[in-house]
Amino acid sequence: MQDPIAVIDFGSQYTQLIVRRIREFGYFSKLYQPGDLRETGSPPAVILSGGPRSTLEPGAPDIDFEYLRSLGVPVLGVCYGMQLLNLKFGGQVAPGHTREYGPAALLVRAEDGGVLFEGIRDHSQIWMSHSDTCRMADAAEILGENLDGIPVALRWEDNFYGIQFHPEVSHTDEGRKILRNFLKLARDPQEFRIESFKDHLIERVRAEAAGRKVVCGVSGGVDSSVLAALLHEAGVDTRYLFVDNGLLRKDEAAEVEAQFKTVGIEIETVDASARFLEVLAGIDDPEEKRRRIGRLFVDVFFDAVGDDVELLAQGTLYPDVIESATSGSIASTIKTHHNRVDRIMELKAEGRVIEPLDELFKDEVRDLGRALGLPEKVVARHPFPGPGLAVRCPGEVTVEKLEIIREADAVFIGLLRDRNLYDRVWQAYAALIPTKTVGVKGDERCYEYALSLRAVTSEDAMTAEWAQLPYEFLAEVSNRILNEVKGVNRVLYDISTKPPASIEWE
């Protein structure tokens, strides 16, 4: 494979979005730390991201500028990246009179806009996030200004560009066009098509497995399902294990087994529901619940497969790699050290863990699943938390509460599918409110639980908006739950955004 377009991460909250945008345009891109510039190989282009720090600070992130110039490829500095380039070309950076955060205007100098602003309106909205301004050296050309006449787009030499705004965010009206224009300058960039990338991943799996027996934990979720399908397609000898922790949705264990059978994958189910309910008895602290579930999950997994694992497959995704997390793996819910968690780390240190999806974002994993022939119902499935319904059951987890959540959730999700609304939201579920309220059923006073419905829209779960579902639909869901689910006499709809609220309740 050719080397990808390199995005150098200076810490901006939007940096991952730059990589995503480039891949959406059909080119392969990866994120690198500033000190890893030489590990980029021969990238077709380099983008220096924004960041929260000032270039004026002692110890501010830097770049090997001479090596960057030696690459001879187009370079785009965004926000912090522009200020850093301005310093490298002999300019200065000074504190601004005010911090610019939010919408601003871009005025393109028509005669100087060049390739970067080709086809861009002379006046458009951009998104700022900075507190310093550039004082340019004579070598800099001004390509664009804001309404106050302050330069917000510069060019140095032939291949170096800088912009003081974020083109990767949707708030910059023509940001995608600007990024596309920059990529026109890239030197023979590698095309990114999931269909051909699938073949690369299959060869990678075969090479990493090298005839060894693979163990893969599956949950029925998108990541583990696509991982299982990839291992199956690669033809490696794999044992697929599904742990039923008793915290699943209604009929989920049977559905997962049937789901894998449709694509020719046999899985082993371990029913450990009684063990999980036992360790959760009397526990109401959310973090303690997560810890106990995570620890027991790993114990159950290794009790089933044994400690002599030749190769463990995990569904780690690219954002997890960037954030040094392990979401999607069997260790994803572990927040404290434990002997069996240490065993996973030992396996990684010994080169006995493979993570074939670690170059892909969530939406790309879904596309890979489609390319592997997985049903749409599987690849379009909403995210489901590792600790299961325990995070939707504030307070102590009991059989009674779980049954209420399961039945209500089945009504909600079933109606979302029936009314063709399921694919319009990122995630939806029913959560129990640990409070009983007074109601009237059958002409009699009742004292039952209140229930909250939650549905959000999101791109990557970092932020989320509440889904504005039709009132008529919400009324139908509420009516069905109140009539069909025992133990509930009040249904609420959660209209909190993330932040400040999280997507899940716990």
- Give residue 200's identity as a one-letter amino acid code: H
**Which residue, chain included where needed, has tokens 């990122």?**
426
Cα separation of 87 and 473, whole Å? 57
Which of 426, 428, 399 lies closest to 412, judged by CA?
428
Residues with active-site annotation: 79, 166, 168
CB-based burial, 187-223: b 16+ in 10 Å, e otherwise:
eebbebebeebbeebbeebeebbeeeebbbbbbbbbb
Question: What are 99's two structure tokens?
Answer: 């911090």
Q: How many residues does the chain have?
A: 506
DSSP secondary structure string, 25-65? TTB-EEEE-GGGGGGG-S-S-EEE---SS-TTSTT-----H
Q: Cα 285 to the chain's mean position, in Å?
A: 26
What DSSP character marks residue 190?
Answer: P
- Give residue 246's identity as a one-letter amino acid code: G
Give the list of residues 6+ apart from residue 203 with CB closer than 8 angstroms, or none: none
Name beta bridge partners: 125: 105
Is residue 31 within 8 Å of residue 19, measured between CB atoms? yes
Cα separation of 409 and 431, whole Å? 8
| Residue 504 CB-half CA count within 13 A | 15
Q: How far apart are the first and last CA of the chain?
A: 42
Give the list of residues 6+ apart from residue 214 with CB closer than 8 angstroms, or none: 231, 236, 237, 238, 239, 310, 311, 312, 313, 354
Q: Cα 403 to the chain's mean position, in Å?
A: 30
Three-state secondary-structure class, residue 311: strand
Give the list of residues 6+ apart from residue 486 with CB closer than 8 angstroms, or none: 404, 407
Is residue 264 within 8 Å of residue 375, measured between CB atoms? no
